[in-house]
Structures are given as structure tokens and as C-alpha cells.
Structure 1
Amino acid sequence: MRALISIDYTNDFVATDGALTTGSAGQAIEKPLAEVTKMFTENEDFVVYAIDRHEQNDPYHPENGLFPPHNIAGTTGRNLYGELAEVYEESREKATVYWIDKRHYSAFSGTDLDIRLRERGITEVHLVGVCTDICVLHTAVDAYNLGYKIVIHKNAVASFDPVGHEWALNHFKQTLGAEIIE
């Protein structure tokens, strides 16, 4: 059994005026990411929206010194971007669609994602979203450590760092044994 984990495809990470935007690289994957998500949803596969959530002025969050404030609870920056927002709205009431608020890079860190996957008998996770070399990477590493088969949709991941993006794609394949598909 398989699941799709859609990571952080929000206005703050993708829109031109987003607080921590991938810009044109993130915008270029909008259609393939939405198509993959729609396909998984229509096939009744488990689809997880793993979305970064931060609180305004949280002095304890480790990202404070690394990045500008982003994906703040209650702001439009945290809303899903473009076509993915439409795909989510059309399917959010389905039992096979699940939203996770995440506080750290990995969708597994501090969430019930592993439990949700295991109770459904899922052994293979497909990853899409941003940033390839941060949240997608950390989710993939945790998935590997938990024994999941990993599939990365190359045309549906992006980063604001082209070098980091390419490095992560190679790392997925060479170090985590992930399958990379177009």
C-alpha cells in the first residue's frame, strides 16, 4: 500500500511575495504536484498534507535564527498555493485525506504520521512539495529510518537553492535508495 505526502506547498513557500519563497522554481511544479495529488486522491490512496505551522513570535522555535517568520498560524501565507488548494478543497472531507500541522522539517517529527501510515498498512511513501533539500529531505530520511520505501516525484519537488535541490535528489537515490520518477 502507498501514500502521498504533500509537503509545505503554501503561499509563504511558493508565491512570489511569500515570506520564504522558492519563487519560480516552486511555481513551476504547481501543475505536476496538483496532478499527482489528484491522481492519488482519486485512487483512494492515503494523501497527507504535511504543512509547516509556526506561532507568531515563538521565542523557542529553532528556526527563528535561520529563516524569516513564515507559515504563521492564521495567516494567508500558510494557505495551500494555487491548484493544490483546489484539489484539497474538493477532497478534504474524504477519509483518505489527512492534514498534519508540523512544527519541524520532517513530517514525522512530533506528529502521528507513522501511526497513521502503519494502521493503514502503508509501506511506500511518495513525496512531493518544498523544499527538496530541507523538509522533503528530512521527511525522506525519517521515512527511510522507519523502513518505508520512498518514491520522489522529481517534477513535483523544488527548492530556493538549485545546488541543494540537485544534491538532495542524488542523496535520495544514492543514500536512501529512493526511486526517483518524473
Structure 2
Amino acid sequence: MTTKKALLIIDYTNDFVADNGALTLGKPAQAAAPAIISLANDFVAHDQVVILPTDLHQKDDPYHPETKLFPPHNLKDTWGREFYGDLQPWYDAHRNDPNVGEMDKTRYSSFAGTDLDLQLRARGITELHLTGVATDICLLHTAVSAYNLGYQLVIHPQATAGFSKENQAFALNHFQTALGARIEN
């Protein structure tokens, strides 16, 4: 039986990746672009699922915990929330593919307060491939949720970036040693 897979491209937006993004990870995040696009093309070519869980925030939301932690980022209908670089035209070219979709999220984990688990289970997905940013926050929290829901995890380090080299190394180690993820270089 063939394993059904989904590629998650998490939070790969201008605010997180571009030099002038509101909460940018900068050059390490920008360097992930070719690997992300390559993986996305491979998944589409093999009739696999690609989902882009994307942070959505309201400016100065007094009820959101991130308001006290980070500057405003990924605000609705802003340049900062658009996909970074070649990912935006890639998504525009594939948005009508039934196996490609974007989804809003308002918490670190792509599963928190979303129907991601239902979407994946409806498609028979058992293996999740994680890419995007930040490895040490949103990918990490998404991976913990996925692990707790019984998904097999595959991490592509060349298609991710953390807020520091140390945080990136910690997250990759945690994925492998605590969540049983396969690390693909």
C-alpha cells in the first residue's frame, strides 16, 4: 500500500522571510526557497497533497497571546502575509489544483483551531513533510501536534529556518529524538 503524504509549507511569507519583513528570519529563511519549491513541485507531480498553513493576525489584538510577544505580523490583506518570492507565483499557478491549498491559522501549531486534521484524514494522509518557518516555533508546535495525532513526520532541514542556528539545531534534534521524525537532507 502506498503511503499518502502531505507537504506542509508553514508560514513562508514576506513578514517572516523578506529582509524588510516585520518578524523576519532573513537570509537562512530565504535560502530555503529553492528546496521548498522543488519539494512542492515533486509532491504535485506525484499527485500528493500540498497545504500552506499561514499565520493570520489582527493588529493589536488584545486577546491574542502573541500580541505581547512579537511585533504585528502576517496581518490580513497586507504585503507581509503574501507568500515570499517564488512561492507566491507557484501558489497562484497551482491554486486550482484539488491537492493544493492554503489555510489560515492563528496559533503556532497548524492544527490548533483549524480543520487540518480533518482535511488530512479525509484524504487518507498518514505522513507529513514539514517545511517553512520558524523551525523552532511554528514547525515545532505543528510537529508536536502531528505526533500526538499519530502522523509520521519527515523534516526537510534545507527547506526550513529557525530564529538562530542554535534554535534550528535544537528543533531538528527534538524532531528526531522526541518525535521520531525522519530528517531528510
For normalisation by structure 2, the TM-score amounts to 0.96
- 1: CA distance between counterparts of 2:47 and 2:92? 16
Query: 2:89 is matched with which residue?
Result: 86
Cα distance, 1:84 vs structure 2: 1.1
Query: 2:144 is matched with which residue?
Result: 141
1:126 to 126, 129, 133: 129
- Confirm whether residue 106 of structure 1 aligns to residue 106 of structure 2: no
Query: 2:37 is matched with which residue?
Result: 34
C-alpha RMSD of the superposition = 0.7
Deviation digits for residues 121-142 of structure 1, max 9, x if unmatched?
Answer: 1100000000000000000000
Query: 1:48 is matched with which residue?
Result: 51
Query: 1:17 is matched with which residue?
Result: 20
- 1: CA distance between counterparts of 2:44 and 2:56? 23
Q: Across the two proteins, how many residue pairs are aligned to each other?
A: 182
Cα distance, 1:177 vs structure 2: 0.2
Deviation digits for residues 141-176 of structure 1, max 9, x if unmatched?
Answer: 000000000000110010122211100000000000
Q: Please state whether the residue corresponding to 1:12 is helix, strand or coil.
A: helix
- 1: CA distance between counterparts of 2:26 and 2:80? 14
Deviation digits for residues 99-118 of structure 1, max 9, x if unmatched?
Answer: 11000001000000000000
For structure 2, the 5+ residue unaligned runs are none
- Confirm whether residue 154 of structure 1 aligns to residue 157 of structure 2: yes
Query: 1:169 is matched with which residue?
Result: 172
For normalisation by structure 1, the TM-score amounts to 0.98
